[in-house]
Structure 1
Amino acid sequence: MIQFYNNECIVYLDFLKKQDVGVYNAYVDFRQTKDLKLFIQSNERNQNFGEINTYLELCKVKTNKRLRSGCYYKLNLSLINNISFIQNQESLFIGRTYNCEKMPTPSTETEELLQSHEPLDQKELIHIIHNTPEPNDLMIQGLSNVDLTLNVRDVNQANWNEILEGDIIKLVYDIGAKNDAKKDEVRAIFEFRREILKRDKPILIISHWDMDHIHCLRYADQQTIKDCFNKFICIDVMRSVTSHNVYNKVRTALGDKNVFCIQPAYRTNGITMHLWKRVGNVSIYRGEKSTNINYCGLCIFVKGIQKSVNFTGDVRLIQAKNIYDQELQQNLITKKHVLIAPHHGGENITKHRVYSNPTTEVVISVGAKNIYGHPSRNMLSYLLSLCNHNLYRTDINGDVNISI
């Protein structure tokens, strides 16, 4: 029988920036409120640490272990409480920036800043604490499939996609800004669309809870969310205090009956995507349970009169293929197809770097000279061949608009 322990301060490693061999900038958030409270109680200088911007930026962390984003670690409280920091005034989610440059290279696990932890109770992370409406309660009007436009916004190394019917925004898929965007940058991205969103009040669907897909929800307050959106659909895989707080803010703003928090499908092969709801020419798919939140996210498939579009978030390309293949089996009439490349064109291993035809156009939402090397050389080469070089990139083309 597994025992669970509550005396460790567990943090979620959201993303990493490699600085040198064994040296990283690490961005962590607290797993739950109880972990945040443990951190606050561990030292008197943490007493003024707020409960809004709860991420810690750990600069130039030295390690002898392989750190992996998307994983949990025990925060070494005795060590971090002796590292100098500044209050971060430029970010919407980072509370403190720690300078770990003088920290010696650890020789043992006890000297690591991010350590291994005791077994965790995964049930603690399930966020459905109210009666989530059933799919049949999603009373939305299907798109007309006439005069539809895909808009992939240029939001740098992040994701914000839209479907417009005429000049009316009907769906927004992800609402991100790059991870290291400053407050003014996030503000500018959202404010550019605020009045149109207030006019149209579209449905907001987020693929998963990575910051580059939800960053603008950190900026928007409850009244703004209420003014700009009428329904919200998300996956119930929230790994940190910040994602829980954002979800609760949206739920309070829109009300329980307008918030659909979906559990991932039970795992079979990790590749199959499962239809959650089809409304007219819009299909919403969910991934299977996975330790990687990218792979268990939400995707949507939209059928226009000219072209179909696959909105893929950060799933693997082979998962996106599974969606397209399912739609083809449902007698998809449209002969032209647009793929929004998963994960900003990030690499997939060869057996997962496959997709279906016909694919006439590919769009990559990606930031110029990003630290991740997106799009990867192998993936870009494959995608170019897939669409006969009809490929658009937001870092080169800016906003991409395609009539579908």
Structure 2
Amino acid sequence: MTNPEFIPDIEAISSIDAVPVILSMVKHLTGMRFAAVARVTERNWVACAVDDSIDFGLKPGGELVLESTICHEIRQHQQPVIFGHASAHPIFSRHHTPQTYGLESYISIPIVKANGDFFGTLCAIDSVPANLDEPAIAKTLTLFAQLIAMSLDTQSHLEAAKVELASANELGRLREQFIAVLGHDLRTPLSAIRMSADLLQTKTEDKRSLNLLSAIRNSSMRMGVLIENILDFARGRLGGGIPVQRKLVDDLQRTLLLTLEEVQASHPRATFIHELNVPTGVYCDALRISQLLSNLLGNAVTHGSASAPIILKACAEGDEIVISLSNQGTPIPAPLMPLLFEPFSRSEAGQRGEGLGLGLYIAAQITAAHNGTLQVTSDAESGTCFVARFPAQFKWV
């Protein structure tokens, strides 16, 4: 029976989507057959997540006698412990832990939160020796442990923020400042994860490992989009609007087509129909227009019917560029329509879905920064249609 004291820790780890992938990657990188995330306190060793191919017998919530583990020592010195052949090791050949559990190979990396609190360890064990001398193994597992710690910190910050914001008179300002700092702080470890995935890809030809690396890369790319949305939101609310750099663009149509192809590659099951007839010499920020379209396409894929195509049209009407996107599916609820282009409107309207509810807000802000408009219609018969309009040439406002 799981100790109730550690249920919040187990739930916190289980809510981190990357943990199962991390444990699988740990096994593949080390060649070991058991990996886990453990919560380690001054009295308890508790498994929070487990990937077990040797029937070691631990499940999430399972405990080991603290003093029988090396993690008890790691909690005190907070340094990694790694050995690949215990019976031949000058120290660990006499250590009680390998003898108690019949271990030959062992690696354990401390998980330390930003405030210095020791959470536990990311560890792997096996009853047979393993080659753990490659420095990249320890470095990569350390990055994984940092990612877990960072995710736990984020959860703690978000929970603390919810409590504070519920009673704060300036709820919006506090939330905006919080996510701005969070977005900046996430960029550095995310870059490290991407670089590690790229490095590991050059060192393996195993198909399963490559698939796992692809999953890590795709997840990091999606996280990168979320972070950029957070930063754009913060800039828009705290800095007077999302910045755009408008200039004369001759290949906006190609930019739109490439954006569509990128979204199609990420959602191979979705069907897209496009009709693009955009002239040259459009005065705009092409990257921001691409971001606008990407957000609209992502919204259509998420909320549209999987059995009906998503229709993209872009053309010139008079002196304006018009981009429209239509999809079938459940109409947007009437109570949500007035909030649709506001940040976090999905959660405030009781809607569920992926993301933070910033995509449409940012799309509207990009359109506004181009002196344009973004409008939506939605009904059961015609489906949902977003229409963005902005001047094709420079206009003083």
Q: Work out whether the TM-score is over 0.5.
A: no
The alignment's TM-score, normalised by the length of structure 2, stands at 0.24
More strand by share: 1
Relative CO higher for 1 or 2, CA cutoff 8 Å, sep ≥ 6? 1
More helix by share: 2
The alignment's TM-score, normalised by the length of structure 1, stands at 0.24
**Which entry has the higher C-alpha Rg, 1 or 2?**
2
